[in-house]
Structure 1
Amino acid sequence: MTQVELSSPSRAESDWGPLSALPGNPLMWVLIASELAVFGAALIGYAGVRVRDPVGFAAAQDQLDRLAGTINTAALLTSGLFAALANLAREAGRRATARLFLGCAAALGVLFLVVKGVEYSAELAAGNDLDSSPFFTLYFLVTGFHALHVVLGLVILALVARFDTPENIETGTAFWHMIDLVWIVIFPCFYLLR
């Protein structure tokens, strides 16, 4: 069976200006920039609503499971490390090792979703849902939107593990690192900041 590679025009064939210097496909960076803008707007909205009800937000925030949030932070950061190691391995021509690292990154992404699912179940069992308070409305919307990105990231990691050119792996792991970056901002906003 021949391996099909996802390909794009070479960098010489398409000039993306400053985006051409970034790793992976420049279109992924356009997507990443737009996703960061959406998450940024959501977090600015969160800050605005929080300013109007700091006491209510603090009380609701105290109901979150900080341990679960911390486990998820460690899982995503470690997953990002494995994604970076996959890039290095593929650049060195070690395809099997790159795929192994992508698998480890994906496994930790699945762990993130499992922990988040347990956390959501506990919140719902405690009576906290989208309509409970402005805090929980924003919590479920922002973290749920992030969880959907984790699912999409897992699909992308699977695709680039299958079609494992260096450019594909760079492109896919760039998206995965965006997911890490967004969580690093979400975690303190919802779980830690007072």
Structure 2
Amino acid sequence: MRRTLLLTAVVLAAVLGAAVLGAVPAVPAAAGDAPDVPDANLAASVRDIGTAESVRDIDLSKAVIPLETEQDDGEQVTVRMSADVLFDFGKATLTDAAERRIADLAKRLRDVGGTVEVSGHTDSVGSDGYNLDLSKRRAEAVKAELLRALRGSSLRVEARGYGETKPVAPNRNGSEDSPEGRAKNRRVDITYEKG
């Protein structure tokens, strides 16, 4: 029964296709052969599709995470750099862009007294031990680049890794993963006393 229906459908499609193809000219009509259509008919054939209702504004501010921020509490300044810009995933080797950014920051730090603290932080993906080790290695990499850029300066630089223990945003929203929160937590903070 199914084969008969299928065969009938195929034959019907072939016959209809041949009929349609026979009704359509193989060569397009010349411009002069086009029928005259009154303007009223043309206007009636155009419909407004209501684009105003179809387009909506998108607020990207919640999806865009700043690559660097600076907080000044009057006594200390903390420069927060996204680890996603400083390092490749799971690595503690600075990117070329990170080296340039740290060199720019070092110019500002030359006149600062006291100690600069470099603190590395991770999100909650991975084991506690892995994240703690990664955050320490990243803080040490930033420290080494700062010291290289500050060559000749008496400024002291200390590095600490905190792993996932000091988040600035939730890694999860209830039972849902929070990629935005995790991205904010992958960071290196550079804190120094105001001069």
Q: Give the TM-score normalised by structure 2.
A: 0.23
Counting strand residues as a fraction of each chain, which structure ranks higher? 2
Counting helix residues as a fraction of each chain, which structure ranks higher? 1
